[in-house]
Amino acid sequence: MHAYPDERSTPMVSNLLRTWLLASLFIAVTQTGEAQTGTWGDQGDGTYCNPILNADYPDVDVEQLGDTYYMISSKQHMAPGMVILESKDMVNWRTIGHVWPKLSWDPKYNPDRMDGYKFGVWAGDLAYHDGRWYCYQIDTTNGLYMSSAADIRGPWTEPHLILRKTGWTDPAVYWDDEGRQAYLVCNFGRLEPKKPGNHLRLFKMSWDGRELLDEGEVIHVGTGAEAAKIYRVEGRWYIFFAQWFRPDPNRPDDPEADSGDRKQMVLRSKTDSIYGPYDSKVVYHRGNGVIRSCSQGALMKAANGSWWYTHQLIQNIPAPFQGRPQMLQPVQWVDGWPMIGRDADGDGVGEPVLRHAKPIPSFPITAPPTDDDFDAPQLGLQWEWNHNPRDDRWSLAERPGWLRLKASVPVGKGGFWGACNTLSQRIMGTGKGEATAKFGLSGMRPGQRAGFVRFGGVYHLFGVHVEQGGVRRLFFDANGQVTNGPVIEADTWYVRTVNDGDQACFAWSDDGRTFHDFGPTFTVKFGQWTGDRLGFFCWNDREAQGHIDVDWFQYDYDGPKAERPAERPWGE
């Protein structure tokens, strides 16, 4: 409840790697034993630069309990689903869990089908009521689901189906304690030909949050209207939502700008009824140098009475390769309307603020986890599987201190998209990044392919293929175009991938010190509602045999990073 395109030549790979190998020496020194700042997020001087989360954290909602803010973000077909983060200052966020360990409500997300790409967990709503947490989300191919928990970290109840219906999206709930009535609003799709556009429909909901009590009432119709949130401020009802404007009358003078713009709108009640009537107003849109659409987020309030709004950047540019990041904007109330950001051009509508004082000072820099040495008994919270995993085909116990991925035969059309147990995490930022991992190859068997992957809209694999005679050979696979490489005899193998913007490449080593370029520089892309990701793959085209082990993973990038322990196994 809210009470308030093309690939490059090999020489470019050498240049990119050479630059980053030198830079990594500096990064390794500055990150040991202290927090890191960067080009975005907390700047360490009482200010922050947008985005605050420059990674694929779309469709967020935020709920405050006491002095802590909790955020959820969707991740489609990835498991576990609906990541949960927490923050003390609205700027520094850390991952604390997920709502759904697996996408258990539809067999298409299981490893024997792997055909739920782009679907699964979409935009949801997080609420706290009567000592219990609630999370709502609509799988657009199935219906509306709810899970609840006494503790935000779980365990969460199994998903409860409230209403089976396809095509609707973006639920948000509100418990009105004064009227003792609960409500749910959502985008209910285009139901009436005479009323074009998406319908925001308001339902009465049972007090226990488990069922809808009526057919709902349409409170707004608009082109692409979605992602509504319900707030009550000083006795007035406010419905925040996103809506498309095509063509955009205020299109930026930029060749990459989309002709349309998803703007942030607000409905404000004229009476004390949640059903309206409502006035409507555009309160926020792109501008001030930002060409991606700015909307769809959550309203927050600090203890000092200041208001804030976190929102995503929409993927309406040619290369949103990191996905949909989160921006944080100050909010001023002007004549009963929220002014989000700053009215930079004087048109009465807010535009993004790029740098600002932190809402709540003095809290230290933190960030979602990235590095892992696989010493813990559970997977780190940064990791997510591509569809539900086969739990009998991976282990952290069979070789303590290593992640073991066991090969299965891909399903469907085979290859990467049909291979289960691909494990990955988000890339961070749009600047420079470098990720390195150490692999053990002794368990690989004929027919097996395993190694490092970058994937989102397309995939790029750098791995080892075991031929029928047992020979291990390197290969690079650019979305189905395979280039074979040299034989590798060592049982220990290191992979490094670097990127500068959306241009990335791979290199390898058998000693962790001297790296050799392999494959061309390639372009990473957004797709299937997902930004580029870093991770590990393992499958066998012939039979379910063989495994690969991962000892550690290290990721350095151009944004904030929490304190790293002084002693790490990197490079050993």
pLDDT tens string, the chain, 572 residues long: the values are: 555 433 333 333 444 444 444 344 334 334 445 789 999 999 999 999 999 999 999 999 999 999 999 999 999 999 999 999 999 999 999 999 999 999 999 999 999 999 999 999 999 999 999 999 999 999 999 999 999 999 999 999 999 999 999 999 999 999 999 999 999 999 987 666 665 789 999 999 999 999 999 999 999 999 999 999 999 999 999 999 999 999 998 888 898 999 999 999 999 999 999 999 999 999 999 999 999 999 999 999 999 999 999 999 999 898 899 999 999 999 999 999 999 999 999 999 999 999 999 999 999 999 999 999 999 999 999 999 999 999 999 999 999 999 999 999 999 989 999 999 999 999 999 999 999 999 999 999 999 999 999 999 999 999 999 999 999 999 999 999 999 999 999 999 999 999 999 999 999 999 999 999 999 999 999 999 999 999 999 999 999 999 999 999 999 999 999 876 544 454 45
226 flagged as catalytic: yes
Q: Which helix (H) or strand (E) holds 19?
A: helix 10-31
572 flagged as catalytic: no
Residue 499 confidence (pLDDT)? 97
Task: Name the catalytic one among 59, 351, 372, 384.
Answer: 59
Burial class (CB in 10 A: 0-12, 13-18, 19+), 241: buried
Q: Given phi > 0 = left and psi -120 to 50 = alpha, else beta, which region is 228?
A: beta
Sequence-separated (6 or more) residues with CB below 8 Å from residue 413: none
Which domains does the chain show, CATH number per domain? 38-357 (2.115.10.20), 384-557 (2.60.120.200)
Task: Name the catalytic one among 226, 434, 517, 558.
Answer: 226
Of 94, 95, 92, give the one whose Cα is nearest residue 83: 95
Strand partners, 536: 423, 452
Sequence-separated (6 or more) residues with CB below 8 Å from residue 404: 394, 395, 396, 398, 443, 547, 548, 549, 550
Interatomic CA distance for residues 484 and 461, integer angstroms: 12
Query: pTM of the full predicted structure?
Result: 0.93
Interatomic CA distance for residues 72 and 83, integer angstroms: 6
Residue 43 confidence (pLDDT)? 97
- Which tokens hold the place of 38? 């960067």
